């Protein structure tokens, strides 16, 4: 199975961040708004949220009416793998968020759930309706 990573990080300035990754590193920009930006870094998805300097005081941001953790990392998997992981974690009585669909009926539609590891790091598991839309703007 081919898998790409997803890493979400807070940042001070969306435009400066975009300029660095696109112009300095040669990465491709993906979907974005005034408050968040996706970057395609060698086939992996970096998401930057305008939350200020790295600081755990900025714990959440809002997307499509859902409150999400600003600091998390994740993996993009196929739908079957996503379902297997979700079911397994529920059976193990791990605390997982209820599955949610983001960008429904839009480019980049995907399902996600979050789980917290023993160190307190939050991991997101995503599965895109159309894998070709992971980085489409």
Global confidence as pTM: 0.67
Query: What mean pLDDT is predicted for residues 118-136?
Result: 84
How, if at all, do strands 44-50 and 4-11 pair? parallel
pLDDT tens for residues 2-33?
788 888 888 888 998 998 889 887 889 999 98
pLDDT of 1 reads: 60
Total residue count of the chain as it appears in this document: 137
Domain containing 30 equals 4-133
CA proximity to 99, closest of 89, 113, 85: 113
Rounded CA separation 52/35 (Å): 11
Q: What is the CATH number of the domain that holds 68?
A: 3.10.180.10
Count of domains forming the chain: 1
Rounded CA separation 62/83 (Å): 24
């Amino acid at each position: 199975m081919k898998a790409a990573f997803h890493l979400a990080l807070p940042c001070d300035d969306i435009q400066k961040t975009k300029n660095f990754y696109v112009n300095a590193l040669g990465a491709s920009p993906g979907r974005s708004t005034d408050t968040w930006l996706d970057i395609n870094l060698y086939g992996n998805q970096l998401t930057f949220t305008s939350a200020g300097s790295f600081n755990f005081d900025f714990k959440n941001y809002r997307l499509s009416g859902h409150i999400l953790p600003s600091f998390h990392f994740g993996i993009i998997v196929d739908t079957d793998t996503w379902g297997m992981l979700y079911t397994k974690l529920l059976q193990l009585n791990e605390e997982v968020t209820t599955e949610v669909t983001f960008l429904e009926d839009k480019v980049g539609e995907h399902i996600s759930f979050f789980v917290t590891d023993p160190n307190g790091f939050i991991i997101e598991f995503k599965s895109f309706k159309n894998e070709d839309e992971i980085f489409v703007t």
